[in-house]
Amino acid sequence: MTNDNHETYVTLQTAKLLSKAGYDWKCKIFYSKQGRIWSVDETDKYEDELMCPTQTAVQKWLREKKNINIEIKILSITGGCLCWYFKLYKLDVCNGIYHSVNEIERVCTSSYSTYEEALEIAIQTALALE
């Protein structure tokens, strides 16, 4: 599902992982316990609902709160189609200053047919590192 700005929302599976990881940025889209997506006018989380942020918001949250950067790259062009993969980097931060970047995960064994699919799996992989 995308919003008016053509940004993709995370899947229910990723929303569950985000909840466990402590994702706390406000959003107006939620998953119900039954997995249905719904929106609210206010950004308050209701009991038993899972926040459903955009992939872009989660990517920024991972970078700012967990010091994990996601890089999506083109693996190849096969039959006129792009194949995507991702890399994860741990950012070493001290007093708000980046000191080093260490590659912590590189997934080239699988390629994904869309950028958004690669980003979704990258987010899930980053959350599993915690």
> Tens of pLDDT along 28-67?
899 987 888 888 776 555 667 899 999 999 999 999 999 8
Q: Strand order of the sheet with strand 68-78? A: 68-78, 81-94, 97-112
* pLDDT, mean of residues 71-91: 81
What is the pTM for the complete model shown? 0.83
pLDDT digits (tens, 9 = 90+) for 6-30: 889 999 999 999 999 999 998 889 9
Contact 31, 50 (CB under 8 A): yes
Separation of alpha carbons 107 and 84, rounded Å? 10
Separation of alpha carbons 33 and 105, rounded Å? 32
